[in-house]
Amino acid sequence: MFDESFEKLEIDEIASILNAVNKQVEGSVFDPLETNILAISLPFYSGYRFLDIADHATNPPLQRFVFHKDDTREFKIVDWTYKTIYEINSEAHINIDDDNVLEYVRFFFSYVKGRHGRFIICESADNIDWKDEPPAEVKKKLNETLQILKIKKKNKENVYEIEAFMILKDTLFKTDIYVEPNGCVTISDHEIIIENIPLLDPILGQ
């Protein structure tokens, strides 16, 4: 998601950022000479960048996702709870509209884990991390069922209802996602499509 829009930062800026971020990291810290930082401005936030900080020279690799308030030394590390996202939504005065609400939903579920693991948006059979590549006819049938995120409606309170297909653990289901103007997200009315999907990682998202 957004991969093509990330900008790779130069070493001087990396060192400056890590000087602040390392103070918030428990355990291993980032080495500026071994770390890459990718930055992106998201369409629903004003005055904040989102950073992908990674040191692949360590074993295991060290990676953190961080919100950075423009022109400040304020950084907030993603802890995979919805609370971090909601705090940024408030601080950045999130602006949800018809053009960016689907991007926001993809972003939200990429960086939030629920009590039972990650809800993974599934817009095609290629989004499934199969343990073994399924037969072509299976993928074809799935792609005939799956759809990309779609806005179903927006009510008078500007709450969006979005149709989605998602995976939780090893179950694919169809559901409705509701997005409020403040960025609050809820899931409702799920319909199971397939259970016991043979995934590469059976505890995906936990």
pTM, to two decimals: 0.88
Mean pLDDT computed over 127-134:
75
Predicted local confidence at residue 133, as pLDDT? 75
Domain spans, the chain: 3-78, 101-194
pLDDT at residue 198 in the model: 67
pLDDT, position 116: 76
In the Cβ-directed half-sphere of 149, how many Cα atoms lie within 13 Å? 20
